[in-house]
Structure 1
Amino acid sequence: MMITRRRLTRGMIAAAPAIAGMSRARATPSFPTRQVRIIAPFAPGAATDTCARIIAQRLGERWGQPVVVENRIGASGTIGASAVARAEPDGHTLLLGTVGTNATNASLIPNMPYDTLNDFAPVTLFAVVSMLVVVHPSQPIHSIADLVALARKAPGGLNCGTAGVGSSPHLAALLFESLGKVKFEHVAYAGVAPMIPDLLQNRVNVSLGDASSFLPHVRSGALRAIGVTTATRFAGLPDVPTVAEAGVASYDAAAWYGVLAPAKTPPQIVTQLNHEIAAIARMPAVKQQLEPLAATTVGNTPDAFAAFIHAEYKRWGQLIRDAGVQVTQKS
């Protein structure tokens, strides 16, 4: 078919608006257009801060744009999380969220300053941290079965130390009591560090906490690890069974860290962030960086992370209400 010059000219004129539109689309600045902030709602040096800085460094390298970590601490992480919930939903302010800020605090703290399930756009679950059940080696407790038997024999006779009321280890202990049908005397500390000396001196009979805190003492023989709280075994102690496989059916508890944006962040930006951060989570070098935290990287989809948050919110909320646990919000 022959195309005349007149017909070709008419076609070019008709196509001009579409071509102009494509040019404008290409000219639109891509994300990010300025410095990106990742809010870490806990102190420098904490696991949350470590994860945030790893992500910030790698994103900065990939984008050629500055990515900074800002520590907004206080009120069990709610100050930092609230700042992100109120931020402009353009992807330039992100939260390194935790099981506390984005699942359990809603049931623990009265008058929360944000809506846990509706004020954020989940991006990806970055990492999950195993916890260990440990005892002093002088205790006649060599397994989860031994612990359950002894605790049932004398309800409240064993004390259990944790990093504080409402902390992940405390809730993990409550879950153990509920599923194992046992009762401990809870001893709440202001973090793991002040608890370790009492645990090493056998003033604390049993404890649950992040594997990274206990690992040096387990490897030295000063503590005995009898169970891993997650659904799968911890690679650093492959011979230690999970609590579930050791007899407490359905038991699964972990600390976790994920990236969230403010609600109403454009889906295309959430998708871009997800692709970038999930790729970072898969990097062998990043996995190695997180080994000291006993962390396993994940990097799932926004929908999968949202479903995970809803499940965590529901199950921990029910446990907290059943146990009547509440913490006083402090700044």
Structure 2
Amino acid sequence: MTVFGKPLRARFAGAALLAIASAVPVLALAQSYPSRPIKMVVPFAAGGSVDVLGRVIADKVSLALGQPVVPDNRIGANGTIAHQMVASAPPDGYTIGMSGTSPLVLAPHQYKSLPYDSRRDFTYLACAGTTPFVLDVNPALPVKNVRELVAYAKANPGKLNFGSAGLGNSAHLSAELFKQVTGIDMVHVPYKGNALAMADLVSGQIQVLFDPVQTSLPQIRAGKVRPLAVTSKTRFAELPDLPTVAESGYPNYEFVVWYAFIAPAATPAPVVARLNSEINKVLRDPEVKARFAALGANLTESTPGECANFVRSEYAQWGKLFTDLGIRPE
């Protein structure tokens, strides 16, 4: 039997030789990897939670791999600059990146044009954990818990202002989800950064802010803001008396931001498996887990497949919320 004039057996033999030939470089790469330093692109500024987690992982993975894993902070454009670098890098395991909720599943619904597609352009090495927000209010607001806040908002529709670091960012969406679950009306005031929103909460220019635990803690301890609840399903160890929103009467509410490690699409499976294994070892380290628990981060392990499936699920969920809220890509 022939196909396009060539015997079928010969075509099968040729295909087998081609497969073997193409597999050789991958096997050689896996056996020698890594033979030089690895760049870890970090999309946010030094000192933030993503940067700190990335540096801890980089230091410990460097020891295991015998090669430096070097953080490279590339800030700007809500993380899109860093993600474009990772997406366009050679898929050889020598460029990886830190990522998370905003650039992977929020930005695609915020912007009409991105220099990457989070569903197509990345290999997911591991999803690393989650961090909740704290629902903070200005102390002058006459509410002491979530139920009182909801009652006050319903009695004063449209008179409460809540801040965020910008339209469609995590803090904005956590508040919008809260509005949707509780049926209240508050006015969104977007800022050019979370620090500015917190400053106006402290001064009373806004009354409500959903804020990462890391930046809320100093203001809470100084008595400058009043925490009402944490947005995760479980309480935060550093504020053990603070209930969750779910415990406060709204069991369907949960909002956390999450972290992920990425590499360019088509990164060889043996390299992905090696990186996943070493990242997970760090994430299960009791000392590392305790350190980040104090910062509000719940570190968890995952396989590359589990992480990819999680990101796809989050992408669909937040796309629906953007549609429900009428937020159109800009």
TM-score, scaled to structure 2: 0.87
What letter corresponds to residue 270 of structure 1 in structure 2? Answer: V
Q: Find out whether 1:194 has 2:181 as its counterpart.
A: no
1:56 counterpart SS class: helix
Asked if 1 retains the 8 angstrom alpha-carbon contact of 2:231 and 2:245, the reply is yes
Asked if 2 retains the 8 angstrom alpha-carbon contact of 1:135 and 1:226, the reply is yes
Equivalent positions of 1:124-203 (< 5 A) are: 124-203=126-205
**Structure-2 residue corresponding to 1:287:** 289
Asked if 2 retains the 8 angstrom alpha-carbon contact of 1:120 and 1:263, the reply is yes
- Runs of 4+ in structure 1 displaced over 4 angstroms? 25-28
**Structure-2 residue corresponding to 1:240:** 242
> Distance between the aligned counterparts of 1:252 and 1:33, measured in 2?
43
2:226 to 216, 224, 227: 224
> Distance between the aligned counterparts of 1:27 and 1:106, measured in 2?
33
Q: Residue deviations 1:41-61, cap 9 Å, x none?
A: 122222222121111111111
Cα deviation, residue 270, structure 1 = 1.4
What letter corresponds to residue 306 of structure 2 in structure 1? Answer: A
Asked if 1 retains the 8 angstrom alpha-carbon contact of 2:198 and 2:209, the reply is no
> Distance between the aligned counterparts of 2:116 and 2:306, measured in 1?
22
Equivalent positions of 1:1-331 (< 5 A) are: 29-291=31-293, 293-326=295-328
Q: Considering only aligned residues, what root-mean-square deviation do their CA atoms show, in Å?
A: 1.9
Would the alpha carbon gap of residues 216 and 68 (structure 1) be closer, same or farther in structure 2, given more than 3 Å must change? same
Cα deviation, residue 199, structure 1 = 1.4
> Distance between the aligned counterparts of 2:290 and 2:268, measured in 1?
33
What letter corresponds to residue 126 of structure 1 in structure 2? Answer: A
1:128 counterpart SS class: strand
> Distance between the aligned counterparts of 2:295 and 2:29, measured in 1?
43
Q: What 5-or-longer segments of structure 2 have no aligned partner? A: 1-26
**Structure-2 residue corresponding to 1:6:** none
Would the alpha carbon gap of residues 299 and 176 (structure 1) be closer, same or farther in structure 2, given more than 3 Å must change? same
Would the alpha carbon gap of residues 239 and 201 (structure 1) be closer, same or farther in structure 2, given more than 3 Å must change? same
> Distance between the aligned counterparts of 1:89 and 1:323, measured in 2?
37
Asked if 1 retains the 8 angstrom alpha-carbon contact of 2:237 and 2:293, the reply is no
Cα deviation, residue 29, structure 1 = 3.7
TM-score, scaled to structure 1: 0.86
1:59 counterpart SS class: helix
> Distance between the aligned counterparts of 1:180 and 1:26, measured in 2?
57
> Distance between the aligned counterparts of 1:289 and 1:245, measured in 2?
26
> Distance between the aligned counterparts of 1:162 and 1:75, measured in 2?
16
Identical amino acids, percent of aligned pairs: 38
> Distance between the aligned counterparts of 1:321 and 1:196, measured in 2?
28
| Greater CA drift, 25-34 or 198-207 | 25-34
Cα deviation, residue 249, structure 1 = 3.0
Q: Residue deviations 1:69-97, cap 9 Å, x none?
A: 11122211111111111111122111101
What letter corresponds to residue 41 of structure 1 in structure 2? Answer: P
Asked if 2 retains the 8 angstrom alpha-carbon contact of 1:144 and 1:226, the reply is yes
How many residues in Structure 1 have an aligned counterpart in Structure 2?
A: 304
Greater Rg by CA: 1
Asked if 2 retains the 8 angstrom alpha-carbon contact of 1:157 and 1:184, the reply is yes
Would the alpha carbon gap of residues 180 and 32 (structure 1) be closer, same or farther in structure 2, given more than 3 Å must change? same
Q: What 5-or-longer segments of structure 1 have no aligned partner? A: 1-24
2:205 counterpart SS class: coil
What letter corresponds to residue 198 of structure 2 in structure 1? Answer: I
> Distance between the aligned counterparts of 2:151 and 2:190, measured in 1?
23
